[in-house]
Chain A
Amino acid sequence: MTLAHWTNRLAIGALALASGFAGGAATFYSPVHAAGGEPIHIERQEWSFAGVRGRFDREQLQRGFQVYKEVCASCHGLKRVYFRNLVERGGPMFDEESVKALAASWPNQIFDGPNENGDIATRRGALIKRPALLSDPILGPYDNDKQARAAQNGALPPDLSLITKARSVEFHGGVFAHIGQMLMDIANGYQEAGANYLYALLTGYKDPPKGVTLADGMNYNAAFPGHQIAMVAPFVDGSVKYQNEAVPRTVSQYSKDVTAFLAWAADPRLEERKRMGWLVMLYLLVTAVLLYFAKKRLWSTLH
């Protein structure tokens, strides 16, 4: 092996490595910015559904739904999730009868268009609605964004169906630490930045530091970009009564549970996806190994 040979090898290696990295290296999460402020650090959390073997914790999803129902649903909709989804595999898996009853009693009912007389509103001006069925979406209290803003002092409570996918976290640190982190995340199948952010937001309500004046109707939140958020702190310790008394009734536990539930809401096929992923990877590995030896044997006849 000559020196020239090794420099060649090195150059090819650099080329291959560089090309391989191109995918990962340039990838990033679109960041949550502090408006003009210093970077906000968002803690990474342990989630049962993170990673290549991640699964939802059924009980946690059920608790999370309870938190959503009792607290969040008074302002936020979940319109891309249907009542039937709550019964399906891979989700909270409530039993069908109780979800049917839940749908029928859900306060935010379904507007189906003009009734048989062609009316869309009652005499008092409210939309004519019917109770929800399993096949209906889980709606929030407002008929449209304008109604929501009018009721919420100009702020719009976003629909929560995709919230954990629609938020992310900026990486703070050097180039190489960043690339290393990305490769680790890809290798571990960890893409839970949105959940981390949401948890940080829900637990991020604090008294404003000295020198910070809040605008009218705003609240201080350590995780929110710009730190001034219209939403009031949603939880206090003990505000949601879990059936299982062993589970702590704390703001942190509520935040964790509802975040897990919303992570499922945003990615209801997560478990199916990862389960199939293992089968596919196993198949690919076996085939690739077979092909490698078939190729090796074939080419060995040449030399």
Chain B
Amino acid sequence: MASETENPNRRDFLTVAATSWVAVGAAATLWPLIQQMNPDASTQALASVEVDLSPVKEGQAITVMWRGKPVFVRNRTKAEIEQANKVPVTDLIDRYARNDAIAETAAASDQNRVKKDHENWLVMVGICTHLGCIPKGQALGDNKGDYGGWFCPCHGSHYDTAGRIRKGPAPENFKVPTYQFVSDTKIKIG
């Protein structure tokens, strides 16, 4: 026995092994404690919303809730679409389309931010890409900013009629969520 007790290696190994196992368990226990703060199953399963577009006249806009966020839906006028098309992509602050339905690297042309044959409908998550305020520009009397689109009063970001950032601190264009036209006057977001 004496020789064994004087051999420090074995004791060290046992103690180190045991305490490391304890540490492993303690670390593993953290996982559920952290994970519980992530979106739960009912939030993840939240349904898509259907929006009836028929009451929205040309030049008007509506805001709908989708996953707790406002989604801007604007029925653009011919002039607004033309204005958006005229801008070369190279002039933009953010040159990417930011459209969930197409490639990440797609250019921020007006066509890339709308659906084909429904170019008048612009559907975007209405949250300023700067610090998350909801910009003005949906209601008729709102300040639409220098480019006739939207204006975020929090820190002065100006968006154009395709929802692209043109001036101010916001780094990105408004995000376009995935949506489909269920019929000519109805879209399903999500």
List residues of chain A with CB under 8 Å of any chain B CB.
82, 84, 116, 133-136, 283-284, 286-287, 290-291, 293-294, 297-298, 300-301
Question: B37 contacts the other chain (Cβ, under 8 Å)?
Answer: no
- Output the least CB separation between A51 and chain B (Å): 24
Specify which of B11, B15, B21, B47 is in contact with A287 (CB 8 Å cutoff): B21
Whole-angstrom CA separation of A189 from B72 in the bound complex: 54
Return 13 A-B CB contacts under 8 Å, by A number. Answer: A134-B45, A134-B47, A135-B46, A283-B28, A284-B25, A286-B21, A290-B17, A290-B21, A291-B22, A294-B14, A297-B11, A298-B15, A300-B1
With A298-B11, A300-B5 in contact, do A84 and B45 touch (Cβ < 8 Å)? yes
Given A283-B25, A297-B11: 8 more A-B contacts, CB < 8 Å = A82-B42, A134-B47, A284-B25, A287-B18, A287-B22, A290-B21, A293-B18, A294-B17
Interchain CB contact under 8 A, B18 and A133: no
**Contact (A301, B45) CB under 8 Å given A283-B25, A287-B18:** no
Query: Smallest CB-CB separation from B5: which chain A residue?
Result: A301
Chain B positions within 8 Å of A, measured between CB atoms, are 1, 5, 10-11, 14-15, 17-19, 21-22, 24-25, 28, 41-42, 45-47, 52
**How far, in angstroms, from A126 to B52 measured CA to CA in the complex?**
23
Query: Once bound together, how far apart are the Cα atoms of A290 and B11, in whole Å?
Result: 11
Tell me, in angstroms, the Cα distance from A301 to B1 when the chains sit together. Answer: 10
Kindly list chain A residues whose C-beta atoms are within 8 Å of the C-beta of B24: 283
B42 & A290 in contact (Cβ 8 Å cutoff): no
Bound Cα distance from A190 to B18, whole angstroms: 32
A290 pairs with B45, CB closer than 8 A: no
User: B14's closest neighbor in chain A, by CB?
Assistant: A294
Residues on A with beta carbons closer than 8 Å to the beta carbon of B21: 283, 286-287, 290
Q: Which residues of B contact A136 (CB under 8 A)?
A: 47
Closest to A135 in B: B45
Report how far A294 CA is from B22 CA in the complex, Å. 12
Q: Are B14 and A290 in contact (CB under 8 A)?
A: yes
List of A residues within 8 angstroms of B18 by Cβ = 287, 290-291, 293-294
Query: A293 to chain B: which residues have CB within 8 Å?
Result: 14, 18
- Residues of A near B47 (CB, < 8 A) are 133-136
CA distance A164 to B22 in the complex (A): 37
On chain A, the residues within 8 Å of B10 by CB distance are 297
Q: Which 10 A-B pairs have the closest CB atoms?
A: A290-B18, A135-B45, A294-B18, A294-B14, A287-B21, A291-B18, A135-B47, A294-B15, A133-B47, A297-B11
- B162: min CB distance to chain A, Å: 28
* Chain B residues whose CB sits within 8 angstroms of the CB of A300 once the complex forms: 1, 5
Q: Which of B14, B22, B25 has the most CB of A within 10 A?
A: B14
CA distance A284 to B22 in the complex (A): 9
For the complex formed, measure the closest distance between the CB of A245 and the CB atoms of chain B, giving whole angstroms: 35
**Chain B residues, CB < 8 A from A84:** 41, 45
Assembled-state Cα–Cα distance A293/B24 (Å): 18
Residues of A within 8 A of B11 (CB): 294, 297-298, 301
Expressed in whole angstroms, the minimum distance between the Cβ of B39 and any Cβ of chain A is: 13
| Chain B min CB distance to A299 (Å) | 10
Name, among A116, A135, A301, the residue most crowded by chain B CB atoms within 10 Å (CB to CB): A135
Chain A residue with minimal CB distance to B45? A135
A291 and B14 alpha carbons, distance in the complex (Å): 8
| Complex CA–CA separation, A84 to B47 (angstroms) | 11
Determine the residue in chain B with the shortest Cβ distance to A293.
Answer: B14
Rounded to whole angstroms, the CA-CA distance of A74 and B22 in the bound complex is 53
Q: Is the CB of A82 within 8 A of B22?
A: no
Do A135 and B42 form a contact, CB below 8 Å, given A286-B21, A287-B21?
A: yes
Q: How far is the CA of A291 from the CA of B21 in the complex (A)?
A: 9
B164 to chain A minimum Cβ distance, whole angstroms, is: 31
B31 to chain A minimum Cβ distance, whole angstroms, is: 11
Q: How far is B42's CA from A84's CA once the two chains are assembled, in angstroms? A: 9
Give Cα distance in the complex from A294 to B18, angstroms.
7
* Chain B residues within 8 Å of A133, by CB: 47
